[in-house]
Amino acid sequence: MTVATSDARSARVGDLLPDGPRRTARRLDARALLLPGRGDLVAYSRSLEAHREDFDAWDGVVEAAEPDGQAEHRLLIVDRYGQVYAVHDARDASDLPDAAALTEWFKFLATACPECGVIDDPVRVGPTP
């Protein structure tokens, strides 16, 4: 993860985070940044990993930091420009967004065209006629 944990821990909706890694010039690269706190996230992380292809279809990626010992886990939804769209803090992994919710976020961010407002299909499929 390229964003400093301290920046992500203090981020709020609307804040801009430093750029993450770009996979290719054409991808939109929305990110879900997972900041583990205290407690087990193994099952949660595995459930997200099992949906990597679903996220990838909408140019989404989950990045996880090392556990930092904070009381709560934090998950940030960040668009291609580094703007934070959602912040989820939870002591228990069951209170964090599941894979289906993340897929919906990635779909929303992939289809939100700031230039024209046109909603597209995933990049691999091409624009909607």
In the predicted structure, residue 22 carries a pLDDT above the cut 70:
no
Strands of the chain (E only): list them. 30-35, 60-64, 73-78, 84-90
What domain range includes position 9?
Answer: 5-111
Residue 125 lies in a domain: no
In the predicted structure, residue 116 carries a pLDDT above the cut 90:
no
Count of domains for the chain: 1
Q: CA 27, CA 34: separation in Å to the nearest integer?
A: 21
Residue 94 lies in a domain: yes
- Average pLDDT, rounded, for the chain: 82
pLDDT of residue 18: 75
**CATH code where residue 86 lies:** 3.40.30.10
pLDDT of residue 3: 62
CA dihedral sign of residues 102, 55, 45, 10:
negative
User: Which residues, 6 or more positions from 106, have their beta carbon under 8 angstroms from its beta carbon?
Assistant: 30, 32, 55, 58, 59, 60
Mind listing the pLDDT tens digit for each residue in 52-74?
999 999 999 999 999 999 999 99
Residue 123 lies in a domain: no
- What is the reported pTM? 0.78
Share of the chain above pLDDT 70, in %: 75
Residue 105 lies in a domain: yes
Residue 41 lies in a domain: yes
Mean pLDDT of 75-97: 93
Residue 91 lies in a domain: yes
Residue 81 lies in a domain: yes
For the record, the structure tokens of 24 come out as 């290719």
